[in-house]
Amino acid sequence: MARYIFVAGGVMSGIGKGIATASIGRILKSKGFKVTAIKIDPYINVDAGTMNPIEHGEVFVTDDGIECDQDVGNYERFLDENIYTDNYMTTGKVYLSVITKERNLEYGGECVSVVPGIPNEVIKTIKRAEKKAEADFVLIEIGGTIGEYQNLLFLEAARIMKFQHPRDVLFIMVSYLPIPSMIGEMKTKPTQQAVRNLNEAGLQADMILARSEVSLDEPRKKKLAIYCNIHPEDVVSAPDVKSVYEVPINFEKENVGNRILKKFGIKARQSNLKEWDELVKLIRNHPKTVEIGIVGKYFESGHFTLMDSYISVIEAIKHAAFSQNRKANISWISSEDFERNTKSLGELKKYAGIIVPGGFGNRGVEGKIKAIEYCRKNKIPFLGLCLGLQLSVIEFSKNVCGIKDATSREFDKNAKNPVIDVMEGQKELLKEKRYGGTMRLGAYDCELKPGTISHKAYKKSTISERHRHRYEVNNDYIKILEDKGLIVAGVNPKQNLVEIIEIKDHPFFVASQFHPEFKSRPLKPHPLFKEFIKAALRP
Ligand code: GLN
């Protein structure tokens, strides 16, 4: 049987529970254990696919096609392991599963109560994920904040598991210690309250990861220990870091890995974080930068600019830059600025490379098309992702092939020239408004054309990449496009769908219908991103 480590957050959200969970996973893996991680999102949404990225951050997609929280991306990046469907749960998903079983008479006439019906379903799902990964350790991150109504049933699952297997379950609380500027002192009270809330749910923290701007000092460590009923050495200092990849190294300095093993009665083991450590050193020391611009629309939220909507794209750029001994300086460019003329297209020249990432709906599309045209004409290295491919094809159709009204069926239902059309299998679903979890999702094969930039980048002919879309290049237009210099560099062999395009006589103009960013890992940068950065660095 595996060991289970629950991770939950106190005081407030957004303090790095996902990174903490992923970092602990990396440490345990580096000690030779098999590790998997599960994310629990307490929302009613059955998956993250129906959530607006501005509200919830990026929708991450796994090989088996689940649309999940961005933290699953952190797990894959830190663990360098693929994550599957049972590793992501929401309140909606758990209830849906229980209700479906009830409708199928799988409870054999029982009266199905919320408790233990729902926590039991959660536990069963955890065990399935454990089995699939053949894991020695299962990390389970409970989203939201302790004390919220929403995640109570998941804490209840943790409590039941701890009660049933006291030696095999640990509970880690990631908490925040504010330093209000008018006081100038790190305050422990909110964490004390969070621990009380946890106690009310019948749980006691075995370890507290104390997130703050700076390191935790001894007096506050002792204070937390006494008030929170925990040994001082189990209160771990977790100060802010410049790069999230520093976190496993910092946790190791605090001996987090062996302390966890000790709690499970397992002998201490050496960690092997050598390569990771080298990466962190590189990040700290890299002198030179590479300037990359992302032309998108999901980053404006009131007075704030959010990065979470494109997190995998950002990380993939960083990984590729690291591999070239560079630090990526990433800028957000709102495509709508090009529509309102509040920014001149000429500004794109400042960047060594431009990315147009995925997206949905009409807003900002015109501005993105203008940016693509500018990159094509001015030979700026360009990488298009999903919608980025679709808009590249529209731009090329309009401005090179002379199809002035070329568009996507997504933007105009009655389009005369839908160079991007709705996929056959999607038509019925859209008509019936069956939107949730029905896009073309997850991993599909793609055959690469020899001699293309993409083929050189991957150094092989068949690749597998992750998708999330309903619309596709319309094959009726391929001949016209190819005659004018567009290259179809990758095709899905089974369905004959265009997966990658390139443009002739351009230093680097590559766009993919899939999302390569989901498969980039810190020590294994994605081949397309790597080639893109290499092109960006060419004089
Ligand atoms: N909106 C487009 C589609 O559904 C592109 C999706 C995306 O960029 N992920 O096909």
Q: Of 223, 247, 274, which residue sits at a domain end? A: 274
Q: What is the pLDDT of residue 254?
A: 92
pLDDT tens track for 387-407: 999 999 999 999 999 999 999
Q: Of 242, 274, 306, which residue sits at a domain end? A: 274
Are 236 and 192 members of one domain? yes
Would you say residue 50 lies in a domain? yes
User: What gap in Å lies between CA 82 and CA 268, rounded to an integer?
Assistant: 27
Q: How far is the CA of 388 from the centre of ligand 1 (A)?
A: 9
387 Cβ closer than 6 Å to some ligand 1 atom: yes
User: What gap in Å lies between CA 436 and CA 50, rounded to an integer?
Assistant: 6
Are 264 and 383 members of one domain? no
Best CA proximity match to 121, nearest among 153, 151, 149, 77:
153
409 Cβ closer than 6 Å to some ligand 1 atom: no
The structure tokens listed for 98 are 């229980």
pLDDT tens track for 153-177: 999 999 999 999 999 999 999 999 9
Q: Of 215, 246, 274, which residue sits at a domain end? A: 274
- Number of CB atoms found within 10 A of residue 361's CB: 10
515 part of the active site: yes
Q: Count of domains in the chain?
A: 2
Q: What is the pLDDT of residue 56?
A: 79
User: What gap in Å lies between CA 144 and CA 10, rounded to an integer?
Assistant: 9
Specify the CATH number for the domain of residue 218: 3.40.50.300
411 Cβ closer than 6 Å to some ligand 1 atom: no
User: What gap in Å lies between CA 135 and CA 33, rounded to an integer?
Assistant: 8
Average of per-residue pLDDT across 191-198: 93
What residue owns the CA closest to ligand 1's atom 7? 358
- Number of CB atoms found within 10 A of residue 349's CB: 12
Out of 360, 363, 499, give the residue to mutate to test ligand 1, the one with the largest number of ligand atoms within 8 Å of its CB: 360
* Residue where the block lists tokens 């106690």: 199
Specify the CATH number for the domain of residue 331: 3.40.50.880
Report the alpha-carbon angle 13-16-20, nearest 5: 135
- Number of CB atoms found within 10 A of residue 193's CB: 16
User: What gap in Å lies between CA 51 and CA 212, rounded to an integer?
Assistant: 29
DSSP labels for 48-95? GGGS-HHHH---EE-TT--EE-HHHHHHHHHH-----GGGEEEHHHHH
Would you say residue 428 lies in a domain? no
141 close to 89: Cβ distance less than 8 angstroms: no
- Domain of residue 215 covers 3-90+119-274
Would you say residue 432 lies in a domain? no
User: What gap in Å lies between CA 226 and CA 214, rounded to an integer?
Assistant: 21
Are 164 and 222 members of one domain? yes
30 close to 23: Cβ distance less than 8 angstroms: no
297 Cβ closer than 6 Å to some ligand 1 atom: no
Are 292 and 265 members of one domain? no
Are 253 and 290 members of one domain? no
The residue annotated as part of the active site, out of 386, 401, 502, 526, is: 386
User: What gap in Å lies between CA 450 and CA 490, rounded to an integer?
Assistant: 10
Q: Report whether pLDDT(125) > 70.
A: yes
Give the atom of ligand 1 at the shortest distance from the alpha carbon of 385: 8
User: What gap in Å lies between CA 83 and CA 139, rounded to an integer?
Assistant: 12
Are 81 and 204 members of one domain? yes
Signed CA dihedral, 389, 392, 394, 396: sign only: negative
pLDDT tens track for 499-518: 999 999 999 999 999 999 99
Strand order in the sheet with 382-385: 327-334, 289-296, 353-356, 382-385, 509-512, 497-503, 486-492, 440-448, 462-469
Would you say residue 366 lies in a domain? yes
Are 307 and 267 members of one domain? no
418 Cβ closer than 6 Å to some ligand 1 atom: no
Q: What is the pLDDT of residue 298?
A: 72
What residue owns the CA closest to ligand 1's atom 1? 360
Are 266 and 308 members of one domain? no
309 CB-near residues (< 8 Å, 6+ apart): 53, 54, 57, 58, 296, 298, 299
Q: Quick one: pLDDT band at residue 306, thresholds 50, 70, 90?
A: low
Q: Rounded to the nearest 10 degrees, what angle do helices 70-79 and 17-30 cross at?
A: 20
Give the mean pLDDT of the chain: 94
Give the atom of ligand 1 at the shortest distance from the alpha carbon of 472: 10
Q: What is the pLDDT of residue 167?
A: 95
Q: What is the pLDDT of residue 510?
A: 98
517 part of the active site: yes
Residue 232 DSSP label: G
Average of per-residue pLDDT across 45-56: 87
Would you say residue 112 lies in a domain? no
470 Cβ closer than 6 Å to some ligand 1 atom: yes
Would you say residue 354 lies in a domain? yes
440 Cβ closer than 6 Å to some ligand 1 atom: no
Are 169 and 84 members of one domain? yes
Length of the chain: 539
Give the atom of ligand 1 at the shortest distance from the alpha carbon of 515: 9
Q: How far is the CA of 384 from the centre of ligand 1 (A)?
A: 12
Measure the N-to-C terminal CA separation of the chain; round to a whole number of Å.
56
386 Cβ closer than 6 Å to some ligand 1 atom: yes
pLDDT tens track for 201-220: 999 999 999 999 999 999 99
CA distances to 352, 364, 370 from 367, rounded to whole Å, are: 19, 5, 5
Q: Which residues are registered as beta bridge partners of 271?
A: none
Would you say residue 409 lies in a domain? yes
User: What gap in Å lies between CA 92 and CA 205, rounded to an integer?
Assistant: 27
386 part of the active site: yes
pLDDT tens track for 230-288: 999 999 999 999 999 999 999 999 999 999 999 999 999 999 999 999 999 998 887 79
Signed CA dihedral, 338, 343, 344, 350: sign only: negative
Q: What is the pLDDT of residue 301?
A: 62
468 Cβ closer than 6 Å to some ligand 1 atom: yes
Give the atom of ligand 1 at the shortest distance from the alpha carbon of 388: 8
User: What gap in Å lies between CA 43 and CA 154, rounded to an integer?
Assistant: 12
Give the atom of ligand 1 at the shortest distance from the alpha carbon of 358: 8
356 CB-near residues (< 8 Å, 6+ apart): 294, 295, 296, 335, 368, 371, 372, 382, 383, 384, 385, 387, 388, 391, 392, 511
384 CB-near residues (< 8 Å, 6+ apart): 355, 356, 372, 391, 392, 510, 511, 512
311 close to 517: Cβ distance less than 8 angstroms: no
Q: Which residues are registered as beta bridge partners of 503?
A: 486
* Residue where the block lists tokens 């050495």: 233
Average of per-residue pLDDT across 401-420: 96
Are 51 and 181 members of one domain? yes
Q: Report whether pLDDT(299) > 80.
A: no
Are 233 and 123 members of one domain? yes
490 close to 461: Cβ distance less than 8 angstroms: no
Are 62 and 25 members of one domain? yes
Per-residue buried b or exposed e for 110-145, using 16+ beta carbons within 10 Å of the residue's own CB: eeeeeeebbbbbbbebbbebbeebebbbbbbbbbbb
- Number of CB atoms found within 10 A of residue 270's CB: 10
Report, in this order, helix, strand and coil percent for the chain, each rounded to 5: 40, 25, 35
Q: Quick one: pLDDT band at residue 300, thresholds 50, 70, 90?
A: low
Would you say residue 372 lies in a domain? yes
Q: How far is the CA of 422 from the centre of ligand 1 (A)?
A: 10
